[in-house]
Amino acid sequence: MVEVLVAAVALVAGTWTLHRPRTLAAGVGGSASSPTVSVVVPARDEAAHIGTLLRALAASRRVPTEVIVVDDGSVDGTASVAEGFESVVVSAPPLPPGWTGKNWACHLGAQRARGDVLLFLDADTCLSPGALDALIVELDRHGGLVSVQPHHRVRRLYERLSAAFNLVAVMGSGAFGVRPRTPARVAFGPCLVIAAADYRSAGGHAGVRADVVEDIALAARCREHGLAVTCMLGGHEISFRMYPDGVRQLAEGWTKNIATGAARGPLSAVVPAVIWVMAVAATAVTLLVGLAGWWSGGSAPLLAASAWLVTTIQIRTKLRHVGTFGWGTALLFTIPLLFFVGVFIRSSALAILHRPVRWRGRRIALSSGGVD
């Protein structure tokens, strides 16, 4: 009966944290306003990826007023690629003390922007033709800060190691559970849209200059200034391919964010998300122990296998909301889960010991949130 209890805990915790995902949808309603939109793209060594985003913006039904690419010390020709799409390219001066690279780049882009609305996009995102219209509709509807977690497009086998991170990030946000937090306590940094006046009144990226998890910090500043914070999932409209340059990049990228982000999330969502991780892991362990006993001549672990199957179906259902992971990832979810636990422990240890992590040629101090 322990197997049934553990599976039940996983089902309840998973449902509590990811029950009503709000997904961005193009063509639903229309915008009553026609604001000018400035797109700001912070980019550091993104020559291989930024073209996809710029091409999508050029094909958008709502053509942005301007696309500003802030070249943050790239050495791979990022600026040349951006100029080929007639983007405004801003070369970032050396990083000032107390700033993280992304915050500095976003700040510089916002200073250059002329639009009524600011849309901050990571260089590895991709938008459907109707996505920009959909974002403006949601901004009209909710006001304040609207953020979108893009749908993760998985191509190579190792990229499936991000599955648990994607799920826990969404579950721990508190934005999509049985009782979603309103306004949201977090935001998703890859896609942020906000009226330029609201951005400046909240202090913008200058107000969170040292934060590694600048999206959560920016959400907090918006709430402090009486602005709504709304979180959505990208669905078919906004996607990205995370960490396409290998396992090491994937591990370092998640090490940079995961422990600090968990510490800043709402406890009412983070705690159930942790319980879900533990329950899923316990279900897998129970099955493995049962299989080992069966191999040694014991009875078949039918109850443990049934509990594992139910949990696997839940995982597959949840994964559909966050990326293109498929049944294979759900069936072998123990592997990305173990990878998640290892990276989370490392991220936590680095923060506690005040040790930096290297990211794109810089040393990020997790404890203070600044650049070492």
**Full DSSP string of 75-107:** SSSHHHHHHTTT-EEEEPPSPPTT--HHHHHHH
249-262 burial code (b ≥16 CB/10 A, e <16): ebbbbbbbbbbbbb
From CA 222, how far away is CA 229, in angstroms rounded? Answer: 7
Question: In which band, very low, low, confident or very high, does the pLDDT at 3 lie, cut at 50, 70 and 90?
Answer: confident
From CA 107, how far away is CA 237, in angstroms rounded? Answer: 26
Amino acid 28: pLDDT: 63
Q: How far is CA 234 from the centre of its chain?
A: 10
The pLDDT of residue 368 is above 60: no
From CA 229, how far away is CA 149, in angstroms rounded? Answer: 13
Two structure tokens written together for 24: 């961005």
The pLDDT of residue 225 is above 90: yes
Q: What is the pTM of this model?
A: 0.93
Closest CA to 285 of 267, 266, 268, 307: 307
For each of the domains in the chain, give its residue range(s) and CATH number, in order of start: 2-16+267-371 (no CATH), 21-253 (3.90.550.10)
Question: In which band, very low, low, confident or very high, does the pLDDT at 26 lie, cut at 50, 70 and 90?
Answer: confident
Closest CA to 186 of 232, 124, 238: 232
Please tell me whether residue 9 adopts helix, strand or coil conformation: helix
Q: What is the pLDDT of residues 135-146, one digit of tens each?
A: 999 999 999 999
Region 272-283: mean pLDDT is 96
Percent of the chain at pLDDT exceeding 70: 97
Pairing of strands 151-152, 66-71: unpaired
Question: In which band, very low, low, confident or very high, does the pLDDT at 206 lie, cut at 50, 70 and 90?
Answer: very high
Question: Which residues face 68 on adjacent strands?
Answer: 40, 88
Q: How far is CA 90 from the centre of its chain?
A: 25
Q: What is the pLDDT of residues 65-103, one digit of tens each?
A: 999 999 999 998 999 999 999 899 999 999 999 999 999
274-300 burial code (b ≥16 CB/10 A, e <16): bbbbebbbbbbebbeebbeeeeeeeee
From CA 91, how far away is CA 74, in angstroms rounded? Answer: 9
Q: Which helix (H) or strand (E) holds 42?
A: strand 37-43
Q: Which of 201-210, 236-245, 293-302 has the lowest mean pLDDT?
A: 293-302
Question: In which band, very low, low, confident or very high, does the pLDDT at 30 lie, cut at 50, 70 and 90?
Answer: low
On whether the CB atoms of residues 144 and 198 are closer than 8 A, the answer is yes
353-367 burial code (b ≥16 CB/10 A, e <16): eeebbebbebebbbe
On whether the CB atoms of residues 116 and 37 are closer than 8 A, the answer is yes
Two structure tokens written together for 347: 């991220």
Amino acid 298: pLDDT: 80
Question: In which band, very low, low, confident or very high, does the pLDDT at 31 lie, cut at 50, 70 and 90?
Answer: low
The pLDDT of residue 372 is above 60: no
From CA 42, how far away is CA 260, in angstroms rounded? Answer: 21
The pLDDT of residue 367 is above 60: no
Amino acid 371: pLDDT: 34
The pLDDT of residue 359 is above 90: no
Q: How far is CA 33 from the centre of its chain?
A: 28
